[in-house]
Amino acid sequence: MEAFIRPLSTRFLFEARQQLASRLFLIVTCLFYLSPMYWMVVTALKSDTELAKFPPTLWPQELVWKNFDQATKTFPFLPYLGNTIFYAAITVIGSVLSNFIIAYGFSRIKWPGRDLLFYPVIASIFIFVQFPVNPITMVPMFSFFAGLGLVNSFLPLVLPPFFGNPFFIFLLRQFMLQIPTSLSEAARLDGANEFQIMGRIILPLTRPALVVVALLAGVNAWNDFLGPLIYLQNDKLYTLSLGLTFFRTMHRIEFNLMMAASCLVVLPVIVVFLCFQRFFLEGVTLGSGK
Amino acid sequence: MAGTRKKLIRGDTRNLLYGLLFISPWIIGFSVFLVYPVLSNFHLGMTQYSGFGAPEWIGFQNYVTLFKDPLFWTSLYNTFYYVILAVPLGVVVAIGLAIAMNQKVREVRWYRVILYLPSVAPVFALSMMMIWLLNPRFGLFNYILSWAHIPAINWLGDPHWSKLAIVLVAQFGAGHVGLIFLAALRAIPPNLYDAASLDGASQWRKFRHITLPLLTPTILYDIIIGLGLGLQVFAPAYIMTQGGPLNSTMFTALYIYKNAFEYNQVGVAAAVSGILFIINATLAIVIFWSSKYWVNYHLE
């Protein structure tokens, strides 16, 4: 009996110690990864005098909520919020619509040259990385849209998502390839045309992947800085990302206000992320299923 | 017989037409938003163009001016410095995060959420936070370093540290790739480790000879994506340092931006963009080509 218990208890002890080590490692890493956001929140709630203290206080002595109020008065917060929501919403619609249809063409219909044409999709992921605005293409694209008289409108930002994003095409194609072809064939035999198969059979089955695309596209648009920076020069059209730079260019940077404004800009992304974390965490690996 | 064949051919053409119809938005997008600007970079790069009026053809003049401009070389130097530092570090950090996210503790899911969180936060906002976090006098980082008696570092004001500060910002976004590595880790059959344990292999040997080789496809992916992100790094430098101090964070993307949108040198900016494209594409191809020597596809 004793001989049986002892190895078992040492094993438990060993595992408990192992778990403690794991937890310690995880907590330290998490603290580091949360530090920017923690510091943002703490700073946003500090008074001017507390801000100038050294060593800095790790938690505000007094919570100054009116910093948020003041921050939103330093720049036109609500209009910029509206612009950002508009940009993100149209991007989501465009991305879901176009990438679904394109990925369908790349996976659910067999046609000669299909897999060959998919190479440029992959290649463009690896060379351009960021879509639609990136430093390699921004100069000619700006001239292009300027020639059409579209600078200082949202069109240069919201039009490209309607023409596919290689990342999303890849992700959705991988997902759709896993749906058995027999489903489409059965429907075809029943006399359904391609559009009916796409809308009635494949669309419902692809919904989880489309949610991932919608979330990623929305977050990308919300987080876009370079696009609004070059195309939106009229400050009535600014997005929140450009609004924040007001604080950067002030003569004397008021860090508590700047952090309060940052909180408000980051908060929606965090909320969306926490609500849909399963989609985010699992969405990453959706496309890597070979 | 002839009838079926005819029907088959018709079915093929029908499929081809449908296929092309469905992917047509991508064909347009790819041509207009990627191929056109890449080609146009080389065309505009040979013109004098202020952004107004018509571009004027000047041949290779922009390239000659560029090669004589020390700031152009500085920007390339800075960019390569950044890439060489950020890409390998990014791989190490991401693998470290994946190992952390793979620990066998009950609440591991919450750690995953936390470690992934900063990678969904906007880079511009993260950059704003870093300005304050790295503030030489009141910043949290220097305060924590002071516990270890490390003297205050002027992260964003000292050319020796400024690039490191921007490399640091990128590491906060590593949770995303970390998650991809995590998926790769979990795809490794546990019996490989069991066999190694029976042979008395140490943790390190198991990592070195089982885990690492099986992570190489993901490492390849991370290197190529990291390369593109690194060569095109823009927002953190624009927000945190505006290219300073002493041009130490004047990256190529920022150099392009300033030429095009601040100095009205659109032709020069296009020439640089063309060069950046060639560098990016060449390096990506070289790395892909090299992968046959070091990437292990055994599991696939």
Look up the ipTM and state it: 0.90
Q: Where are the alpha helices (DSSP H) in B30-60?
A: 36-44
Burial group, residue B216, by CB count within 10 angstroms (0-12, 13-18, 19+): middle
CB atoms within 10 A of CB A56: 19
Which DSSP string do the residues of B89-120 spell out, in sequence order? HHHHHHHHHHHHHT---TTHHHHHHHHHHHHH
Tokens describing residue A198: 């796409």
pLDDT tens, B52-93?
778 889 989 999 999 999 999 999 999 999 999 999 999 999
In terms of domains, do B231 and B277 share one? Answer: yes
In terms of domains, do B10 and B100 share one? Answer: no
CATH of the domain at B263: 1.10.3720.10
pLDDT tens, B183-221?
999 989 988 888 888 888 888 899 999 999 999 999 999
B67 in Cβ contact with A202 (< 8 Å): no
Give which of A20, A33, A240 to mutate to test B binding, by max B Cβ within 10 Å. Answer: A33
In terms of domains, do A187 and A213 share one? Answer: yes
B105 with A43: Cβ contact below 8 A: no
In terms of domains, do B198 and B278 share one? Answer: yes
pLDDT tens, A75-134?
999 999 999 999 999 999 999 999 999 999 999 999 999 999 999 999 999 999 888 899
In terms of domains, do B185 and B282 share one? Answer: yes
Closest CA to A164 of A198, A110, A117, A121: A121
Q: What angle do CA A36, A38, A43 make, to 5 degrees?
A: 95
- What is the predicted pLDDT for the residue at A287? 58
φ/ψ of B45, rounded to 5, equals -65, -15
Q: How far is CA A50 from the centre of its chain?
A: 34
Mean pLDDT, chain B, integer: 91
A138 with B256: Cβ contact below 8 A: yes
Mean pLDDT, chain A, integer: 90
Chain B residues closer than 8 Å to A244 by CB: 124-125, 128
The b-or-e profile of B1-36 (16+ CB within 10 A means b, else e) is: eeeeeeeeeeeeeebbebbbebbebbbebbeebbee
The alpha carbon of residue B95 is apart from the nearest alpha carbon of chain A, in Å, by 13
Which of A12, A36, A66 terminates a domain? The answer is A66
In a domain, B54, yes or no: no
In a domain, B36, yes or no: yes
Which DSSP string do the residues of B197-241 spell out, in sequence order? HHTT--HHHHIIIIIHHHHHHHHHHHHHHHHHHHHT--HHHHHHT
- Angle, helix B108-120 to helix B70-101, in steps of 10 degrees: 160
d(CA A128, CA A137): 9
Chain B residues closer than 8 Å to A129 by CB: 225, 228-229, 232
In terms of domains, do A98 and A223 share one? Answer: yes
More confident residue, A261 or B11: A261
A124 with B34: Cβ contact below 8 A: yes
| Residue span of the structural domain in which B261 resides | 61-294
CATH of the domain at A99: 1.10.3720.10
A72 in Cβ contact with A243 (< 8 Å): no
In terms of domains, do A141 and A282 share one? Answer: yes
pLDDT tens, B136-168?
888 888 988 889 988 888 999 999 999 999 998
Q: Which residue has the tokens 């208890």?
A: A9
Average pLDDT over residues B4-19: 74
In a domain, B53, yes or no: no
In terms of domains, do A129 and A97 share one? Answer: yes
In terms of domains, do A49 and A131 share one? Answer: no
In terms of domains, do B120 and B214 share one? Answer: yes
pLDDT tens, A133-190?
999 999 999 999 999 999 999 999 999 999 999 999 999 999 999 999 999 999 989 9
Statement: residue B286 has pLDDT above 50: yes
Which of A66, A96, A116 terminates a domain? The answer is A66
In a domain, B114, yes or no: yes
**Lowest-pLDDT range, A265-274, B6-15, B104-113?**
B6-15
φ/ψ of A211, rounded to 5, equals -60, -40
d(CA A265, CA B145): 29
In terms of domains, do A255 and A138 share one? Answer: yes
In terms of domains, do B184 and B284 share one? Answer: yes
A247 with B128: Cβ contact below 8 A: yes
The number of distinct structural domains making up chain A is 2
| Residue span of the structural domain in which A39 resides | 2-66
Closest CA to B106 of A283, A15, A47: A15
Average pLDDT over residues B242-266: 94
In a domain, B184, yes or no: yes
In terms of domains, do A171 and A82 share one? Answer: yes
Statement: residue A288 has pLDDT above 80: no
d(CA B103, CA B109): 10
pLDDT tens, A217-266?
999 999 999 999 999 999 999 999 999 988 887 777 889 999 999 999 99
- What is the predicted pLDDT for the residue at B61? 92
In terms of domains, do B16 and B112 share one? Answer: no
Statement: residue B272 has pLDDT above 90: yes
pLDDT tens, A13-31?
777 888 888 899 899 999 9
Statement: residue B1 has pLDDT above 70: no
Chain A residues closer than 8 Å to B103 by CB: 22-23, 25-26
d(CA B41, CA A137): 8
- What is the predicted pLDDT for the residue at B136? 87
The alpha carbon of residue A251 is apart from the nearest alpha carbon of chain B, in Å, by 15
CB atoms within 10 A of CB B200: 7
d(CA B79, CA B252): 6
Closest CA to B251 of B90, B128, B77, B107: B77
- What is the predicted pLDDT for the residue at A248? 83
Q: What percent of chain A stands above pLDDT 90?
A: 75
d(CA A43, CA A258): 9
Residue A101 makes CB contacts below 8 A (sequence gap 6+) with A198, B22, B25
Residue A229 Cα distances to A148, A156, A157, B235, B273, angstroms: 18, 12, 11, 10, 18
Statement: residue B118 has pLDDT above 50: yes
In terms of domains, do B70 and B17 share one? Answer: no
- What is the predicted pLDDT for the residue at B4? 53
d(CA A246, CA A258): 9
In a domain, B49, yes or no: no
Which of A46, A66, A86 terminates a domain? The answer is A66
Chain A residues closer than 8 Å to B146 by CB: 55
Compare CB distances from A280 to B37, B120, B125 and report the shortest one's residue.
Answer: B120
Q: What angle do CA A210, B300, B215 make, to 5 degrees?
A: 85
Judged by phi (left if over 0) then psi (alpha if -120 to 50, else beta), residue B98 lies in: alpha
Compare CB distances from A164 to B26, B36, B114 and report the shortest one's residue.
Answer: B26
A135 in Cβ contact with B254 (< 8 Å): no
The number of distinct structural domains making up chain B is 2
A245 with B97: Cβ contact below 8 A: no
In terms of domains, do A226 and A263 share one? Answer: yes
In terms of domains, do B190 and B138 share one? Answer: yes
- What is the predicted pLDDT for the residue at A166? 96
d(CA B113, CA B97): 12
In terms of domains, do A44 and A86 share one? Answer: no
d(CA B215, CA B217): 6
In terms of domains, do A96 and A233 share one? Answer: yes
In terms of domains, do A34 and A98 share one? Answer: no
In terms of domains, do B65 and B35 share one? Answer: no
In a domain, B290, yes or no: yes
A21 in Cβ contact with B105 (< 8 Å): no
Tokens describing residue B141: 């980082």
- What is the predicted pLDDT for the residue at A290? 36
- What is the predicted pLDDT for the residue at B197? 86
Statement: residue A205 has pLDDT above 90: yes
In terms of domains, do A80 and A35 share one? Answer: no
Chain A residues closer than 8 Å to B15 by CB: 109-111
First to last CA, chain A: 51
In terms of domains, do B188 and B72 share one? Answer: yes
In terms of domains, do B218 and B149 share one? Answer: yes
A280 with B21: Cβ contact below 8 A: no
In a domain, B55, yes or no: no
